[in-house]
Structure 1
Amino acid sequence: MSDDSVMIAANDDTLDPLADEADSGTKNRAKVGSSRPSALLYTFGVGSVMDLPHFSVMPAGLDDWDRIWARRPTIPSIDEPRLLDVVRLHLGPQVSALRPFPWQPKTNMKSQEGSDIGVPARVFPQYMRCTGCQKLAPLHEFTYTNTHPFRPDLAIFEHSNCPGRGARGRGASAKNGQTKSKKQVRPVTPARYLLTCPNGHLDEFPYDLWVHRGQQCDKAKHPDLKMRDNNVGQGTSTTIICMTCGKTRGMSEALGDAGKKKLPLCRGRHPHLNAFDSSCGSESTLIMMGASNLWFSSTQSVIVMPRSEAEDEASLADKLRSAFEPDKLTKYADLPDIFRDVIGDSIDLSGVTDEELTAAVKIALAPLPSEAERQEKLKKWDPVDLLVPEWNFLQKAPLMDQHEDPSGLMVTPTPKSDRLPAQISQVIAVNRMKKINAFLGFTRLDDMDRVEDVASRLVSMTLSGRPKWVPATEDRGEGIFLQLDEVAVAKWEAEIEASSLWEAHRDSHFRNYSRRMSATGKVGDPDERFPSARYWLIHTLSHALIREMAMSCGYPAASLSERLYAWKGDAQRKPAAGMLICTTSSDSAGTLGGLVALSAPDRLEMLVNRALRRACRCSSDPVCAQRTPKVPEDFLHGAACHCCSFASETSCERSNRFLDRRFLVNLPSADGDVVRGFFDVR
């Protein structure tokens, strides 16, 4: 775990792990775990279920984060107006800032700096199962221990009076001809079954009602339950047993379409908000605690680029709007000298002239766009809009040999080797770069691309449903930018899109879109989701280079990521054909220089040519080389597999979809349709 890991804490009365089940008890104000910022953004963010060594927690909503930040006189923010505009477009104009995760570095291992801040969380699920006697009960029936200040991994729930699995369990002793079971302390683990719905609600499984088939136990109001596995590792063989009345019921009955009819309707619970949405009533779905479709994050990211004067003014206006009420801004709108004294040290005004300050105040006082205007703009928004400024900057080589911008971006144009394929028109070493990632929300059951990016499917992160800020991370790193010759790409693309192979890929995408669209999604045009042939080309080349670079740069393959610039030109933007292969991290691991070193002419020439030669062969050939989707198949790749082209999920921006080695190099075809690879390697 790196030094920049964020502590996960249940350190507020309203977030006490026992509060959901009991109003009294010892309050837990200690740390229970830690996580890297990137994991909190993409894997264990607000509303997710995060596994700790002995139990699971759910990071709380942003309302509870505000109480954590209130412990500091000033709240840090990440200044990136281009990304903030996109967040506002999706979540509303009330979003005023991008904030880092609550964290403070320590001067030494035993110091107490930052011990009072962390990501607030609550224990979830709150039904636990004893590893000794298999008792199934809520939290308040077990004992919680978390006393070591420097070992949050020792936090644990235990069954202090566990009798064991039988009358003569472990520790039993005989005296005077009688058998007596010795009580023991056993750890408990989370019960793994949950209920969810397409609207993003998540709830505990009603074990009591399940085993009694929707009724109360006729012998006790709170009966004793047990969860017994008939076969280890097979969740469907689990049986719930009521020890009070003797009734049993298997969990296999809750599976499938038939099982849905036996489950209660969704209660609209949001555990991360400690609240219920009574307007749901949707059909519930059984889900396991570690299921991959329990939580999908929705994020947007940008690479920090040099700003224009308008962006600087907008950034200052955001800070003023967040720090001062409109009446105060109006009062000092034309008094910049006095306003500077009022602002003091709360906002950095170094280098800001009186004219720029006055202009920023006017922008801050301007009326925000209406909801109708925002929705209309959101319909027309294209994620490519975030990439256009980056492409425009990177494809133009700086006038000097090395250029470092105040934004933190440092690039160096690199000469091409004579043996580098001529189709690569430009190489730029990105010595330093900064990437900002913002968390917009999350969905359950369906990823955003399966609901046609309907923003209403995002689960709220606040009780009001309109967050005033969103979590963000600031990563630093390095990379290599490669630009392909646009004339060659356009000519090759026209040939490919007229081939039968391209038509097969297009038909397979249509089948995939039709079959996997969420039942609650907005049906759109599949062709709008189908990337152009140049995207397939650049994406496949990127994966080939990532796999090759990982053997030479000193970074693991999972640390390398791609940022693809691949779109046809239109009235709003010029065509693009290039890629940035980079590595970024919130600590120094992203700036070691090993990746930039590969941009040297001789090393890059050897690396690219070797990657293309490897693309000509796969250990799964000829099956892989001749793979073309046919009815009823709906996979979204061609000549690509784990042996030759697939990359880790942290590296690929499209989950290993839209890949085909035949677009890079010439490969044999089973049906005789010869497709010319862009690099035409023989």
Structure 2
Amino acid sequence: MQRIRHDLRLSETVTPFGVGAVVDIRGESLIAPDTSWWDKRFAPEVHCERLVERLGPCVLREAPTHSGRAGKDTAGLLYWRFPTWRFCERCSALSQRSGKDRGKWTNKCECGGMLIPMRYVAVCEKGSHLQDVPWFMWAHRGHDAGVTEAVRFCRAYKELRFVRASKAGEGLRSLRVECGGCRRSRPLSELVMKEALTRDGIKCRGVQPWQEPLPGNICEHHLVGVQRGATGNYIAERISALDIPEEKPMAVALADAVRAHSDFSRVVADNGGPKAEMIAGWIADELGASVDYVLSLAASVDEQSHDDVLADLKDGEWAAFQSKLKEPGRDLSEGDFVVDAWSTAEQPHVPATLAARLTAVGQVRRVREVRALKGFRRYSADADLIPADLSIEGRRKPTFPAIEMFGEGIFLQFDEQFLESWEQHVEVRRRAGILVQRRTETPWGDRLDVPEARYVALHTIAHLLIRRLAYASGYSSASLQERIYARTDRSDPTAGILVYTAAGDAQGTLGGLVRLGDPERLVPLVLAALDDADVCSNDPVCIESDRQGASSLNLSACHGCSLVSETSCETANRLLDRQLVLGGRDVPGLLEGVLTEIRGGTSC
């Protein structure tokens, strides 16, 4: 078997060319099998305890790498040829057979023409399975008068052709599969019709292209004919974590201290009894908690789980940033998490209206991020999740593809009290409620963060800042990432933004982003970002809109003012609104008044 050698960036082995993805390389169509096909000897393990705790017992491995040109013995990843059906660009012959040259595979037909992979494949609607369209079977099926006895019993397997019928006009009606034996001809337009493959009796095999079908393992879901390169054929489920010293939020630490108190078991035992409140008062006085808080923990002790004790990934990161911001100044620590902090209240050139909302800034000089591919879905976001390791037998831990990235960034912390007061405005709640309702109505909406008012506002600010930083940092906008900390339903409410860049080499730590985190540089950048968003090229349509973007999950936000590269955004350019940042009509903006103060000359 002849091998095709092709170099990929390390990050591409997670997405977009990760397990289960169809890749076009050198005229070939390939698909990446699951990690059970990886040679573990050449796939180094990536360590990140925080991420493993989130995924469960597993092993994170990085794809093999090499420097210079790949040689014959250079380790790499295996990719399967898919689809197996091809047509000749010269004679139009359609078949599953491959050309042979002295026993080796070659991409040429017997006539000398190149073999081209078929454009359409069959994907399962709910099971996330993928397979070839059985073109010979499909060509001889149908419900028209042309399906005669000669067609049904045709055995001319080597006389199938993929041709263009010029008399049929343009589009899929002109592309036809013809049989030279029975003269049956069928256009591809019949393949993409609703329930087309089901009516033809073609069923899902219930496996991925690199798997052997098992007896009786027939999937009951229907197949759909789609283009092999369609975006919906591969929806990666990836997760990332910053490798930082794990910190517990204060509320979690307090809850742990209450549960660990020597008298807490007596409160649980007498919960609801006359002694419970008295003993809870002792614990509350000693630990600085309220009596009701201690009693509520005792009442829910049977409901506590491992996930309730361990902070969520973002909760731990938020707590770690809080720890760094408590002591402003240069961070002389070593390791993969170095943050220099400064307070806006101590900077005389920060406008008063901005300082009342933005309280502290952290210059993240070094941070390590680990990204892992958990699995993938096909056709729709609510289809079954296919794990990245399909050989899970219970005797070993699954292996997930992962990469480690090193980078730098800027962290912005916003004032919690101001946010709480701002969120109480009726118009702010109504504005955010529009997105909350649409998220509920969207089938895959539960995969997005809850669009609370603070989340939408801080998310939009992050996008405005990324657009401005792309001009000054030396990084492209696609190289910048965001991480939004904006939840009120957590043990400790969060209100912050991290804009960072990460790369698999030294490029992610060149210092261009951290340099812009200095007070004399960052404040003008923030003001410039707000000024850019104040007027959009699509105004007044954009600023007055409440229905933009995919599934109408954006309000006043478009490509002219707020959208960035989808790879940079946590939610693929959704849940954005300029009105909640700058204000509009009767909606007070989170940063409303900042530009007015600057333009009025009331602050330097």
TM-score band, normalised by shorter chain: 0.7 to 0.9
SS in 1 for 2:512: coil
> Which residue is equivalent to 1:60?
33
Equivalent of 1:129, from 82, 87, 95? Answer: 87
* Aligned counterparts of 1:607 and 1:144: Cα–Cα separation in 2: 65
* Aligned counterparts of 1:111 and 1:203: Cα–Cα separation in 2: 31
1:562–1:653 CA contact under 8 A, matched in 2 = yes
Q: Are 1:506 and 2:436 matched, yes or no?
A: yes
SS in 2 for 1:257: coil
* Aligned counterparts of 2:177 and 2:237: Cα–Cα separation in 1: 36
* Cα distance change on mapping 1:398 and 1:233 into 2, 3 Å: farther
Q: Are 1:40 and 2:13 matched, yes or no?
A: yes
SS in 2 for 1:159: coil
Residue deviations 1:77-122 (CA, integer Å, cap 9, x gap)? 111111111111xxxx4x2x2111122x33xx3585x934111111
* Aligned counterparts of 1:45 and 1:129: Cα–Cα separation in 2: 27
> Which residue is equivalent to 1:492?
422
Residue deviations 1:545-573 (CA, integer Å, cap 9, x gap)? 00011011111111111001111155xx2
CA apart distance, 1:307: 5.0
* Cα distance change on mapping 1:85 and 1:186 into 2, 3 Å: same
SS in 2 for 1:270: coil
* Cα distance change on mapping 1:301 and 1:287 into 2, 3 Å: same
- The number of residue pairs the alignment matches comes to 517
CA apart distance, 1:419: 2.5
Q: Are 1:280 and 2:197 matched, yes or no?
A: no
CA apart distance, 1:34: 2.1
> Which residue is equivalent to 2:520?
602
CA apart distance, 1:457: 3.0
* Cα distance change on mapping 1:45 and 1:543 into 2, 3 Å: same
Equivalent of 2:40, from 62, 69, 73? Answer: 69
* Aligned counterparts of 1:236 and 1:597: Cα–Cα separation in 2: 58
* Cα distance change on mapping 1:638 and 1:308 into 2, 3 Å: closer
CA apart distance, 1:404: 5.4
> Which residue is equivalent to 2:568?
651
* Aligned counterparts of 1:303 and 1:529: Cα–Cα separation in 2: 18
CA apart distance, 1:488: 1.0
Q: Are 1:205 and 2:133 matched, yes or no?
A: yes
1:534–1:566 CA contact under 8 A, matched in 2 = yes
SS in 2 for 1:208: helix
Residue deviations 1:135-158 (CA, integer Å, cap 9, x gap)? 211142466999xxxxxxxx9712
1:306–1:405 CA contact under 8 A, matched in 2 = no
> Which residue is equivalent to 1:262?
199
> Which residue is equivalent to 1:413?
341
Q: Are 1:472 and 2:402 matched, yes or no?
A: yes
> Which residue is equivalent to 1:349?
none
Spell out the pairing of 1:248-647 with structure 2 (5 A cutoff).
Answer: 248-263=185-200, 264-276=202-214, 278-307=217-246, 385-396=312-323, 397=325, 399=327, 401-403=329-331, 405=333, 407-414=335-342, 416=344, 417=347, 418-420=349-351, 421-422=354-355, 423-447=357-381, 450=382, 457-459=385-387, 461-464=389-392, 468-495=398-425, 499-511=429-441, 513=442, 516=443, 530-568=450-488, 570=490, 573-629=491-547, 635-647=552-564
SS in 2 for 1:664: helix
> Which residue is equivalent to 1:226?
161
Percent of pairs identical after alignment?
Answer: 28
Equivalent of 1:247, from 178, 184, 187? Answer: 184
2:156–2:180 CA contact under 8 A, matched in 1 = no
CA apart distance, 1:605: 1.0
The code of the aligned residue for 2:402 comes to A
CA apart distance, 1:298: 1.0
* Aligned counterparts of 1:77 and 1:608: Cα–Cα separation in 2: 40
* Cα distance change on mapping 1:293 and 1:196 into 2, 3 Å: same
The code of the aligned residue for 2:592 comes to D
Under a length normalisation based on structure 1, what TM-score does the superposition of the two structures give?
0.70
* Cα distance change on mapping 1:301 and 1:634 into 2, 3 Å: closer
Residue deviations 1:46-87 (CA, integer Å, cap 9, x gap)? 11101102111111222211xx234x5xx6311111111111
The code of the aligned residue for 2:187 comes to G
* Aligned counterparts of 2:448 and 2:156: Cα–Cα separation in 1: 56
* Aligned counterparts of 2:447 and 2:422: Cα–Cα separation in 1: 20
Q: How large is the Cα RMSD of the aligned pairs?
A: 3.1
1:564–1:580 CA contact under 8 A, matched in 2 = yes
> Which residue is equivalent to 2:121?
194
Q: 227-236 vs 640-649, which deviates more?
A: 227-236
The code of the aligned residue for 1:187 comes to M
CA apart distance, 1:428: 0.8
* Aligned counterparts of 1:555 and 1:528: Cα–Cα separation in 2: 27
1:144–1:157 CA contact under 8 A, matched in 2 = no
The code of the aligned residue for 2:157 comes to H
CA apart distance, 1:628: 1.9
* Aligned counterparts of 2:82 and 2:494: Cα–Cα separation in 1: 46
* Aligned counterparts of 2:103 and 2:410: Cα–Cα separation in 1: 49
SS in 2 for 1:34: coil
2:246–2:316 CA contact under 8 A, matched in 1 = no
Q: Which runs of 5+ in 2 are unaligned?
A: 143-148, 249-303, 597-604
The code of the aligned residue for 2:96 comes to P
2:428–2:588 CA contact under 8 A, matched in 1 = no
CA apart distance, 1:619: 0.7
CA apart distance, 1:424: 0.9
SS in 2 for 1:98: strand
SS in 2 for 1:607: helix
The code of the aligned residue for 1:157 comes to N
The code of the aligned residue for 2:414 comes to L
SS in 2 for 1:51: strand
CA apart distance, 1:663: 0.7
* Cα distance change on mapping 1:617 and 1:144 into 2, 3 Å: farther
* Cα distance change on mapping 1:530 and 1:111 into 2, 3 Å: closer
CA apart distance, 1:580: 0.5
> Which residue is equivalent to 1:157?
107
Higher-helix-fraction structure: 2
CA apart distance, 1:465: 6.1
The code of the aligned residue for 1:623 comes to V
The code of the aligned residue for 1:607 comes to L
* Cα distance change on mapping 1:31 and 1:252 into 2, 3 Å: closer
CA apart distance, 1:654: 0.5
* Cα distance change on mapping 1:594 and 1:160 into 2, 3 Å: farther
* Cα distance change on mapping 1:156 and 1:53 into 2, 3 Å: farther
The code of the aligned residue for 2:44 comes to P
CA apart distance, 1:410: 1.6
1:143–1:159 CA contact under 8 A, matched in 2 = no
Q: Which runs of 5+ in 1 are unaligned?
A: 1-26, 147-154, 162-184, 310-375, 518-523
* Cα distance change on mapping 1:641 and 1:111 into 2, 3 Å: closer
Residue deviations 1:525-547 (CA, integer Å, cap 9, x gap)? x7996321100011000000000
> Which residue is equivalent to 1:173?
none
* Cα distance change on mapping 1:230 and 1:283 into 2, 3 Å: same
CA apart distance, 1:235: 4.2
